[in-house]
A and B are shown apart, each in its own frame.
Chain A
């Protein structure tokens, strides 16, 4: 498994023992150098995004590491860098930069194939399906751009800032906006096919997850505290269920595995909610610190805290 932390270290750990296989330090002279977004894994390399405080004089961006040795293969410097996930497709990776661009990089060389100006929500990421990359922006636009050329194919004005990552299927593009609405657009034309107002005060955040025949999306308040999880039918015709956080959740993305959605809270608790009905099925206080990230495989859950402690758990199966 791969993990990046806020000290500029990117590591490969043995998934079953936690033993360090390799580690690479990319922070330069910066005291802190952050890996925040999800990585993209190719057969021979792993591509990760970083961000840094500009006052350090360092630049951050996108790094590619050899999967076997950890050697840094290339770095694309992009000022303060990239906070959101790296999305890979074919020979390219795609990111939103903090500076306000959607960038397509060649995965072999790290050289930009094209850039497109886009005021994207910086913690989020674009989506790629087929020949199009889809991005949302804080000026209320959803755009479809040709993967190869970087040319605009269509643009839809929603009129409200896009607040989430964009996610897509062959037919549909999903984007949440700051007025609490989730939109479904035609991937081919950008036409709004349906939309659903999810909440008058909370707004959709993070990446909508298309899983188990539903769309799962987190809702957050004005302080960016995660307060509710909503499951919708993919046509956005109805809400399947809605689950409120007991207080708030501190994990910034929806992770689903084995029919359960795993979320962490400020007091170190991890709770599994069944994806079918949203009901809590298993909960355990794992740490004394907030839970920041949860990921894993069918058998193992990896749970991280902001202090840098990483736990590997044998995954319970409470929703089977």
Chain B
């Protein structure tokens, strides 16, 4: 009964620790496949 909120909180902490901000794309080039 008490375990579930704890697991949810830990999962939220783990997700929050991963940064997801968009990187600055300096350029893009089509080299052909």
Contacts and interface: CB of A to CB of B under 8 A. Distances in A.
A318 B28 contact: no
14 contacts: A5-B32, A17-B26, A280-B18, A284-B20, A284-B23, A308-B30, A309-B28, A310-B28, A310-B29, A311-B25, A312-B26, A313-B23, A314-B24, A316-B21
B16 to A, nearest CB: 12
B18 to A, nearest CB: 5
Interface of A: 3, 5-7, 9, 11, 13, 16-18, 279-284, 286, 300-301, 304, 306-316, 318
Contacts of A308: 30-33
Interface in B1-33: 17-33
A6 B32 CA distance: 7
Query: Binding site of A, secondary structure by majority: helix, strand, loop or mixed?
Result: strand
B27 A312 contact: yes
Contacts of A280: 18
Contacts of B30: 308-310
A157 to B, nearest CB: 41
B28 A281 contact: no
A253 to B, nearest CB: 18
B25 A313 contact: yes
Contacts of A5: 31-33
Nearest to A35: B31
B28 A314 contact: no
